[in-house]
Chain A
């Protein structure tokens, strides 16, 4: 594995609903199979072999499998991304308490280590599966496939996949989601969209979180909105506070609308 930061895909663990120890994928899981759709080369007669394949082809293939599985069951899957500490889990706790039943919400949590977030979501009354990526810096489609097997979300429900807190790596990896939501908290500063364009470019919705703290921090909402329009002209910004509840009805309505 990487000698600098140690990140890699080995050591991924999945904890299904109610499990405290490492879990095996649930019995109601779906099978992605192991076949692949290209021909192996035999009897090479030249020194150069054309490959012409997207490097992310394997992940993209598995993501399409996830997407087909989710779509067939009418499940809205949202890939929720942000830097660590922007308020993803706090937002989901309140969402679970206030709108969890109406949305049929379930959650896949992604973190390098611990089941802390899954415990918080479970305490909020929501079905949850925790994926620990080991040293990995993002969720990928195969991890989510295992998460789906363990969680087995109900048909017609809303599934939020809380990615590993990171504004760089998760942007590249399709998980099979229908929508990408990126959190940008007022405590991080207004320059995040322009500093992390790859992440914000892919966002369908940007939740500006912790807006109850605006009177206490130096955050230029105009600049944030202007910069975001440069990166992603189509992305909608929704200001919310999971502490006061401000703006949350619009977030619940967005989920409900997308789930239809």
Chain B
């Protein structure tokens, strides 16, 4: 349940950046290979924002798809699940997208 700590990190970052500013919406990017479950973040959000400037804010999460490049044959591909295996059989791949764990923007009230 590291999503609780992750969600607390969101609140901390936003309140540090915009102290005392009521927030209407938070936009996050949580890549499908980030190791963080977006639904769990949604579950934690209401609890964690209680009594903060983010209380009652909407949470908008986009989940960028995974994209990898094979270091052996150079092919770019979309891995199936968490195991990134190129069609050539190589597992030596660079992850180009899908590991995002980012606060994009917020909308203020």
Contacts and interface: CB of A to CB of B under 8 A. Distances in A.
Contacts of B6: 55-56, 172
B16 to A, nearest CB: 7
A52 B103 contact: yes
B14 A51 contact: yes
A102 B107 CA distance: 57
Contact of B91 (A2, A52, A230): A230
B4 interface: yes
B2 A168 contact: yes
Interface in A8-36: 8-9, 36
A72 interface: no
A38 interface: yes
Contacts of B83: 194, 197, 230-231
Contact of A38 (B17, B91, B92): B17
A224 interface: no
B104 A52 contact: yes
Nearest to A36: B16
Contact of A44 (B47, B90, B108): B108
Given A52-B102, A136-B5, A197-B82, A47 B13 contact: no
A50 B29 CA distance: 13
Main secondary structure of the interface of A (DSSP, over half): loop
A56 B44 CA distance: 16
A145 B24 CA distance: 35
A7 to B, nearest CB: 5
A2 B8 CA distance: 11
Interface string B42-62: 011001000000000000000
B108 to A, nearest CB: 6
B35 A171 contact: yes
Interface in A26-74: 36, 38, 40-41, 44, 47-59
B61 to A, nearest CB: 11
16 contacts: A7-B4, A8-B4, A8-B5, A40-B16, A49-B106, A50-B105, A51-B13, A51-B106, A54-B101, A55-B13, A56-B101, A169-B1, A171-B35, A198-B82, A230-B83, A233-B92
Interface of A: 1-5, 7-9, 36, 38, 40-41, 44, 47-59, 136-138, 140, 168-169, 171-173, 194, 197-198, 229-231, 233-234
Interface of B: 1-2, 4-6, 8-10, 12-14, 16-19, 21, 24, 28, 35-36, 43-44, 47, 82-83, 85, 90-92, 101-108
